[in-house]
Structure 1
Amino acid sequence: MTPQAHLFLLGLAAAGQAARQPEGFKDAFFGCRGNETAPEQLHFNYAGDRGMTISWNTAAKLQFPTVRYGRGPLLDRIAFSEVSVTYPTSSTYSNHVFIDGLEPDTEYGFAVHCADEKDRHQFKTSLPAGHRRPYTFAFIADLGTMGPLGLTDNGQKDALSPGEITTMQSLSQFKDQFEFMWHDGDLAYADDWLNEELDGFLPNTTTKGGAAVYEAILNAFYNEMAVNVTMDRPYMVGPGNHEANCDNGGAGSYTDSICVQGQTNFTGFRNHFRMPAEQSGGVENFWYSWDYGMVHFVQFNTETDFPNAPGIPGGSGEENAGPFAPNGTQIEWLKKDLASVDRKKTPWIIVAGHRPWYVDDTMCDSCQAAFEPILLEYGVDIALFGHKHFYERLAPIADGVPDPKGLNDPSAPWYLVNGAAGHYEGLSTPNTPLQNYTVKAIDTVYGWSRFTVHNCTHITQDFIGESPDAISFETQHHC
């Protein structure tokens, strides 16, 4: 009996699942087929105080994706699912296993189906809602593939300097200093394949052949992220415009009509992740929430599913995506979710949506009309955004007017835009003059935001890059 099989049988006994295993389960578990079932693109995310979803990709479909896990040296428990999904044009299957009944704020070792015996990882479950321990999390947006399929130092526009540390590498260096990472839309930039070919950065293919280039960029990104961060830290994601279709909303004289089935309407994004929508009453990876210690976190969707959304068919964004729920669902969910927050338990509310409405001089007016009144009504503290490829720290704002109290106990949400993580398109420059609500803008270096939740009245944010920026937010919550 191999060590892996021994642990597997221990797991069946310890977890009490022997009687519940479906027909063919043992054969499927032991049926590893070399490269076909070798795991890649590993990532995991919170699914409630006592849950975690483990996800990875394989070249072939798994009948019963399985995770071995445990708190001690032995991985003496198992969890399995039947979720091994793919889509037209994908070269892999996405496997998702939800583990429930875990102890909060606790480290577990785990190994996924068909992993090498030495290929063991760890996750730490969510800090229970209301817990007062300080912690740090990472926030990024607009991060794409690095290297020969994306951002590199080969002389492209806004190329990396020789030896420059990328955001992925920086996150890897600092990952012992944060407990999870939040990626607020625009993952991989696989839809930039067309721009990369039109620019002469990649060899030209046919538009039909572009589907394989798109998939190659996507896979490269998720593997890079796994190696650097996501196999070690929970990875929470939200939708951005670059997940919507295959051609960046139109490049050159092309439109999304060149996109083949499987590379439209957020298909890859929907298959690759399983965010905690079920636990929070949301919808898929588009809108959901979770609690972590003193903070209630909310991801909402600025692309579709609200009036005049930019990504809907006929919208300004040209993505022709959605809807993903009946009319009005997202707005009603957001109101209900925020209304249910116990501010004595989780005094902070931090939300994120991809497209900002307060930023240099190009804003998402429909986003503002749909969401800002709700954020004001329910006393949201911090609102985070990406989409614009620079860092812009703003004042707390209500209806376009900066709060005169600044960050000292404001009565309006504090806004931050950070889409400076880096990708093939490089950085962009804010339009000037800057708005009266802009406090600081950085558009010359790549970077990410590190937030530290100190207590119920004090949060700090640091822009981690070659031009750092640090700021402290204070409010008088009733602790």
Structure 2
Amino acid sequence: MELFKLQTLVVAVLLSSTAIAEAYVRPLPRKNLDLGGFRWPWDSKTNSQPQQVHVSLAGDKHMRVSWITDDKNSPSYVEYGKSPGRYDLVAEGDFTSYSYMLYSSGKIHHTVIGPLEYNTVYYYRCGGQGSEFKLKTPPAEFPVTFAVAGDLGQTGWTESTLDHIDQCKHDVYLLPGDLSYADYMQHLWDSFGKLVEPLASTRPWMVTEGNHEEENIPLLKDGFVSYNSRWKMPFEESGSTSNLYYSFEVAGVHIVMLGSYADYDEWSDQYRWLKEDLSKVDRKRTPWLVVLFHVPWYNSNKAHQGEGDDMKTAMEPLLYAASVDLVIAGHVHAYERSKRVYDGRPDPCGAVHITIGDGGNREGLAHRYINPQPNWSEFREASFGHGELKVVNSTHAYWSWHRNDEDESVKADDFWITSLVSSRCVDDKSHELRSMLMKP
């Protein structure tokens, strides 16, 4: 009788836990923040004060400082040094601007500074006036920490996510697409730049495009003009011909940012560039290989099912042959982590795939999942939040995902990942990789 009561109690607790888990629903999406981004096209007021300041990596020991001024005569140089208010160095850059229907952008400045010392704080000023900013360069060696969140937007949830990322002692922020959610309303690009400036001016932000960046108007306006003008990434430094895909290195990590909305078949420029880029990776110097793009290849959420299949078919064999450790995507407004997987099945030599399109978009979360859960899927949850990737050494990294529990950051998933270079996978696939890279 006592055993029966105990069994009944255990079953009741399990059923209760299951019911609570299934009933767990994140709060509704929050409204867009009002940051005063709108500016009438006939407004003649000029302002030379730098705004929307952000920094990104621009090749070895260099960083790109980007900002906008309303005054079209403002200069494009950056003064910088290691002490507050003392600028021993100066770099001259270039600028651009664009028009979009009735909207005219301000003067968009891009200036590369360096060479810079690793793991060092620099103070800088844009265009000879305005506020002083400070940035910290990434380290040259392990450990190194990346903050990760996709589909950011500019809502109340975005604000929470940015606050939590600010609390994370990260070296670089990775954003796998969907930045401002401007969606043709160009003033929202300006308000987004103001929103992220406090973080984006202090650590490099490395981004790739999502569907909300495309903003294509057939016969009138090419896609990605706003994104490409404002968020210039180191594509030229990495041998790419497009700002939509590029690569860079931090400490011992080689990171490839691919374009889900650029041609990716075997005859495309992106595919040829990817083969060449992977052929240059030295796993002794950069034992970790990480890839980001917007549309996930492994997704058990009912949202956006199958949208990444064509890109997966074309490029997954390349990534597998190159022994990519980790693949990070956005697009689906939820979080999911896979086991090591390749060609739809768990594979000890495949990549771990993470979907993290839940930074704070205005469209809400994707709550509906496919059941039963696929055998390659390890953890999934529909919540807003961010991830942290701490690469400890050449063999081990620690991944954690932190949900926005109201406005508190709560760690909901974590695991240790062992690099493929420390296994036999890299050696076993070296011939396969050489064959694929040499294939015309």
TM-score with structure 2 setting the length: 0.78
1:286 corresponds to 2:244: yes
Say whether the 8 Å CA contact 1:65–1:84 is kept in structure 2. no
- Could you tell me how far apart the structure 1 residues matched to 2:249 and 2:393 are? 15
1:295 to 253, 271, 274: 253
Between 450-459 and 94-103, report the one with greater CA deviation. 94-103
2:188 to 198, 210, 217: 217
How do residues 235-384 of structure 1 correspond to structure 2 at under 5 angstroms?
235-245=205-215, 261=221, 264-307=222-265, 328-360=268-300, 362-363=305-306, 364-384=308-328
Structure 2 stretches lacking a partner, 5+ long: 1-43, 424-440
CA distance change for structure 1 residues 272 and 165 in 2, over 3 Å: closer, same or farther?
A: closer
1:86 to 98, 112, 118: 98
1:441 to 380, 404, 407: 380
- Could you tell me how far apart the structure 2 residues matched to 1:370 and 1:65 are? 41
- Could you tell me how far apart the structure 1 residues matched to 2:197 and 2:220 are? 27
| SS of 2:237 mapped into structure 1 | helix
Say whether the 8 Å CA contact 2:137–2:171 is kept in structure 1. no
1:137 corresponds to 2:75: no
CA distance change for structure 1 residues 170 and 58 in 2, over 3 Å: closer, same or farther?
A: same
Structure 1 stretches lacking a partner, 5+ long: 1-32, 147-151, 153-159, 192-210, 247-255, 309-326, 404-409
- Once the two structures are TM-superposed, the CA of residue 396 in structure 1 deviates from its matched residue by 0.9
Deviation per residue, 1:224-269 (Å, 9 max, x gap): 0113x111111111011110016xxxxxxxxx56x964xx401100
Q: For the aligned residues, what is the CA RMSD?
A: 2.3
- Once the two structures are TM-superposed, the CA of residue 296 in structure 1 deviates from its matched residue by 0.5
- Once the two structures are TM-superposed, the CA of residue 400 in structure 1 deviates from its matched residue by 0.7
- Could you tell me how far apart the structure 1 residues matched to 2:165 and 2:315 are? 30
CA distance change for structure 1 residues 452 and 62 in 2, over 3 Å: closer, same or farther?
A: farther
What's 1:455 paired with?
393
Matched letter for residue 148 of structure 2: F
- Once the two structures are TM-superposed, the CA of residue 334 in structure 1 deviates from its matched residue by 0.6
2:68 to 50, 57, 61: 57
What's 2:121 paired with?
107
- Once the two structures are TM-superposed, the CA of residue 172 in structure 1 deviates from its matched residue by 2.6
What's 1:171 paired with?
165
- Could you tell me how far apart the structure 2 residues matched to 1:167 and 1:285 are? 26
Say whether the 8 Å CA contact 1:240–1:387 is kept in structure 2. yes
| SS of 2:186 mapped into structure 1 | helix
Say whether the 8 Å CA contact 1:166–1:446 is kept in structure 2. no
- Could you tell me how far apart the structure 1 residues matched to 2:263 and 2:72 are? 32
- Could you tell me how far apart the structure 1 residues matched to 2:364 and 2:154 are? 12
- Could you tell me how far apart the structure 2 residues matched to 1:244 and 1:401 are? 32
Deviation per residue, 1:125-167 (Å, 9 max, x gap): 3433xx2x21211111101012xxxxx4xxxxxxx6xxx9621
| SS of 2:104 mapped into structure 1 | coil
- Could you tell me how far apart the structure 1 residues matched to 2:381 and 2:318 are? 29
CA distance change for structure 1 residues 62 and 54 in 2, over 3 Å: closer, same or farther?
A: farther
What's 1:180 paired with?
172
| SS of 1:143 mapped into structure 2 | coil
- Could you tell me how far apart the structure 1 residues matched to 2:154 and 2:56 are? 21
- Once the two structures are TM-superposed, the CA of residue 289 in structure 1 deviates from its matched residue by 0.8
| SS of 2:123 mapped into structure 1 | strand
- Once the two structures are TM-superposed, the CA of residue 104 in structure 1 deviates from its matched residue by 3.3
What's 1:190 paired with?
182
1:416 corresponds to 2:374: no
Q: Identity of paired residues, percent?
A: 31
Say whether the 8 Å CA contact 1:459–1:473 is kept in structure 2. yes
Matched letter for residue 241 of structure 1: N
Matched letter for residue 64 of structure 1: P
Say whether the 8 Å CA contact 2:149–2:174 is kept in structure 1. yes
What's 2:109 paired with?
95
- Once the two structures are TM-superposed, the CA of residue 332 in structure 1 deviates from its matched residue by 1.1
- Could you tell me how far apart the structure 2 residues matched to 1:461 and 1:90 are? 42
- Could you tell me how far apart the structure 1 residues matched to 2:243 and 2:174 are? 13
TM-score with structure 1 setting the length: 0.72
- Once the two structures are TM-superposed, the CA of residue 49 in structure 1 deviates from its matched residue by 2.0
Say whether the 8 Å CA contact 1:358–1:415 is kept in structure 2. yes
Matched letter for residue 231 of structure 1: S
Matched letter for residue 296 of structure 2: P
- Once the two structures are TM-superposed, the CA of residue 435 in structure 1 deviates from its matched residue by 2.1
Deviation per residue, 1:262-293 (Å, 9 max, x gap): xx401100100221111110134211111111
| SS of 1:166 mapped into structure 2 | helix
What's 2:419 paired with?
475
- Once the two structures are TM-superposed, the CA of residue 109 in structure 1 deviates from its matched residue by 1.2
Say whether the 8 Å CA contact 1:389–1:427 is kept in structure 2. yes
Say whether the 8 Å CA contact 1:46–1:126 is kept in structure 2. no
Matched letter for residue 170 of structure 1: H
